[in-house]
Every structure is written in structure tokens, then in C-alpha cells.
Amino acid sequence: MLFSRIAQCYQCPECKKKYTNEIPTSFFPILLVVGAGVVLWMRTLEAIIAPLWLLSLVSFIGSVGLFALTFSLIQFVTARAIRNGVCRDCGGSLEGVGGGIVDGAPPTCSELFLYGVMIGLPLLVGLFTVV
């Protein structure tokens, strides 16, 4: 399927509250958005960086780096309780209760936000670049 993700499920044994973290693993959309980001960064930076090979390298590193940074930021914000291993309600320690691959589900809000940042940031920077 086009969109897939890995789901990690945890539960607090004391208050029985459940926590779920989903990590996107949609290869084709990620590849498409990173590729579009490279092209957009190249168009934005072509007035600043002259050699094509350097422009391509900087654009590729910038696009992949932006993806990794945005993905890490989203995981930091959305999976804080799971990463700490502590229940937010009662302070008990979380236990893993399962997980797996979810295939064919619609993209999550965080995944769409990630794709939007990958496309939107080079366009926004391009608006403020003086040629």
C-alpha cells in the first residue's frame, strides 16, 4: 500500500492507560517528498551556489537533513511519555504490550505535517531570497 507505519503500543499496569506511537514507513511518499525538496532547494539556492555539483550536494544534504530534523522533532513532541517510560497520569512505568506494521491506513496528521514542512520550507526561503 501507499501509506504504512510501524505502531508501538504501551500500557501502564497501574492505571491501565494506553499509549501508542506510530512511525511512518511509507517509502514512496517519503522518497517523493525528499526528491521534491532537493529540486526546490536547488531552485532556491541556485543564485547563491554556482557549481552544479555543489548545488546538488547541498540541496540533497539540506533536504535529507530537514527530513531527519523534522521527523525527530515530531517524535520528540508526540512520543514523550513512551520515550520516558513513565505514565503521565499516575507516574507508573510503561510496559510494552504489542505493536506491528499498519499497512494501507491513511496518513497521520504528523506525517502530513512532515511532508508539508519538506515542501513548504524551501518555498518560504525562496520567497525571502534576494536575487
Q: Is the predicted pLDDT of residue 77 greater than 70, yes or no? A: yes
Instruction: Examine residue 49 and state whether it is found in any structural domain, yes or no.
Output: yes
Tell me if 68 is assigned to some domain.
yes
Please check whether residue 66 lies inside any domain of the structure: yes
pTM: predicted TM-score of the whole model, two decimal places:
0.78
Give how many domains the chain has, as a whole number: 1
Mean pLDDT throughout 22-48? 88
The confidence score (pLDDT) of residue 1 equals 60
Residue 58 forms part of a structural domain: yes
DSSP lists the bridge partners of residue 4 as 103
Does the structure show a pLDDT above 90 at 61? yes
Q: Does 84 map to a domain?
A: yes
User: In this structure, is residue 131 part of a structural domain?
Assistant: no
**130: in domain:** no
Residue 36 vs residues 19, 30, 41, 43, 117: alpha-carbon distances, Å: 34, 10, 9, 11, 12
Tell me the residue range of the domain where 87 lies: 4-125
Asked if residue 117 is part of any domain, the answer here is yes
